[in-house]
Amino acid sequence: MATQEFDLFVIGAGSGGVRAARMAAQRGARVAVADDAPLGGTCVNLGCIPKKLYSFAAHYAESFEESHGFGWSGPAPVLDWSVLKANRAREISRLNAVYAKLLDGAGVQVLRGRARVLGPNAVEVDGTRYGAQRIVVATGGRPVMPDVPGAELAITSNEIFDLASFPRHLLVVGGGYIACEFASIFRGLGAQVTQLYRGEQVLRGFDDEVRHFLAGEMRKKGIDLRTGADVLRIERDAGRLRATLRDGSSVTADQVLYATGRVPNTAGLGLSEIGVELAANGAVRVDEHYRTAVPSIHALGDVIDRVHLTPVALGEAMALVDDLFGDGRRVMDYTLIPTTVFTHPSVGTVGLSEREARQRFGALRIFRSEFMALRHTLSGSTERTLMKLVVDAATDRVVGLHMVGADAGEIVQGFAVAMKAGATKAVFDATLGIHPTAAEEFVTMREPVMA
């Protein structure tokens, strides 16, 4: 028999789960949220936040070198890895407490333990049974390790933030945004970095021109980026790790980071046993209302394997709560989702790649600008910036906007609003730029480079 009854029981206290719990409680529902990990999920503890903090840290050595061109001099700064780790941990603890306060303030009961679904209206947490009119699964995802001999010697993004000692040489395996970000971060922090990707180019799914441009810039920063390369096995070698590649060559490093994908975190939840349908990779199958094959059970966020972004999980949570406890008008729109890759330089993008746009619209006009940012005319850096607009020729609407360069995310966020409003190239042309900025290039590109 259940010890307590809830209107909504949320499994997983990450971004989506916390948002769903808070919003439902604020609408008068009796809500519980269960998690056996620190509050905030991957984003707060092992993803977005610590990664961005380390990205900030990684820029300082480069900024010091660039400062010489502006008249600054002095001894080069030295990274204290232990201080960076401790300061990051303190900030994450602060955020954990903020999440706890938000949930408590909304009247959500937080259960610290691992949950398992027992039936359409029952959940067990560490041996205690709870009743629930509705259940939401928001357990996110986890890194997956490949079936490679010696893979147990490698680490994932979960462990990278707290390495006992700073790796002099880091081998990164993977070509997605997580792999590229950590390659950039640790190169910026001072490590020698080798990155291996078995595909033809990194950042599959992004605009092809962006992919090639970024790869070139990463190599200029000193990253040994090798495409068409794959690991055959990993072995210990005199206190270090040696990765033997399929072409017979090898790379010896202090640490090997595998960033080759993530899978939905559904193992052990008891979902398939009660009729919830799962995809081959463990993702929970849901309809447009985030409802599973069991009508009282819903799922959202990375566990449904749609778009793996924190703001998307937040949007899905708000749409679900509005559907369950509101008027049902809120709908999550998956078009024109802006995103950033925190590489060095960073990538910002919203809308369609050129390839996707050609498949959908046919005739296009492509606008492109590549330049050295004003800062680097004195800094001595060879870093360059790329900006690109993809325009539907029939309607003049801007359907893709892409940038590789400093603060790309900050710049693209504002343009995402314009694109969401349906801005045309004529509207871009009629908008005055802020001078001198890199962002003004988006409103000063007049001649298409191709159609």
HSE, side-chain direction, 13 A CA sphere, residue 89: 9
Would you call 68 a catalytic residue per the annotation? Answer: no
Q: Which of 53, 33, 59, 136 is nearest to 95 (CA)?
A: 53
The catalytic position among 68, 344, 402, 435 is: 435
CB 368, CB 388: distance < 8 Å: yes
Count of other CB atoms within 10 angstroms of residue 147: 6
SS3 of the chain: the string is: CCCEEEEEEEECCCHHHHHHHHHHHHCCCCEEEEECCCCCHHHHHCCHHHHHHHHHHHHHHHHHHHHHHHCCCCCCCCCCHHHHHHHHHHHHHHHHHHHHHHHHHHCCEEEECCEEEEECCEEEECCEEEEEEEEEECCCEEECCCCCCCHHHCECCCCHHHCCCCCCEEEEECCCHHHHHHHHHHHHCCCEEEEEECCCCCCCCCCHHHHHHHHHHHHHCCCEEEECCCEEEEEEECCEEEEEECCCCEEEECEEEECCCEEECCCCCCCHHHCCCECCCCCECCCCCCECCCCCEEECHHHHCCCCCHHHHHHHHHHHHHHHHCCCCCCCCCCCCCEEECCCCCEEEEECCHHHHHHHHCCEEEEEEEECCCCHHHHCCCCCEEEEEEEECCCCEEEEEEEECCCHHHHHHHHHHHHHCCCEHHHHHHCCCCCCCCHHHHHCCCCCCEC
Position 363, amino acid = A
CB 169, CB 253: distance < 8 Å: yes
Q: Which residues are catalytic?
A: 435
